[in-house]
Amino acid sequence: MLKMCLLLVAYAIAPMVAGHGIAPMAMLLISPEFLRWPLALSWGAIIIVVAGFAFLRAGTPAQLVAQLAGTVLLYGSWLANVHHINQFNEQAEQRMALESMLLFSLPFQLATVVVTWVLAVQLKRALSGPKDGFPR
């Protein structure tokens, strides 16, 4: 649970350079100005992550798959938001804004890589673990 909370916090505070300044993703998630499909993807990923904790038993393959899917969708929504926000910049500013978004979001990038790796390893262990309940 801690790793997913870390990922969600890193996502929420990841700064997005939106033409006239920098705003954290958490602020953009509630801004009516940016209500587009990338935000729907963001909220969908957050709902999948939270629902995985709320409704699935801890450590089961189903919960790990839900967390992994939520992590991948969360990263996909970040990429979609970066692309969408970068379209508001002028041509000359697009490269600089894109570099800034990537640089300032390094904690989120790192958290995504670490969480995805940990979930993949846990899922592999859960799927190849003992089926009869006894350790090998």
Please write the tens of the pLDDT for every residue from 82-96: 887 777 666 666 777
In a domain, 79, yes or no: yes
**Residue 67 structure tokens:** 């967390």
What secondary structure letter does DSSP report for 32? G
Residue 20 is assigned to a structural domain of this protein = no
Which residues constitute the domain of residue 9? 2-14+37-128
Q: Is residue 21, in this structure, part of any structural domain at all?
A: no
Residue 30, in any domain of the structure: no
| pLDDT mean over 46-68 | 89
Please check the confidence at residue 134 and state whether its pLDDT lies above 60: no
Exposure string (b/e) for 68-88, b if CB count within 10 Å is 16 or more? Answer: bebbebbbebbebbbebbbee
Q: Is residue 70 part of a domain?
A: yes
Task: Give the residue-averaged pLDDT of 98-127.
Answer: 89
Asked whether residue 110 is assigned to any structural domain, the reply reads yes
Element housing 7 (H / E): helix 2-13
Structural domain total, the chain: 1
In a domain, 24, yes or no: no
- With contact defined as beta carbons under 8 Å apart, do 67 and 120 qualify? no
Q: State pLDDT tens for residues 15-51.
A: 876 656 677 888 878 877 666 788 888 999 999 999 9
- 69 falls within a domain: yes
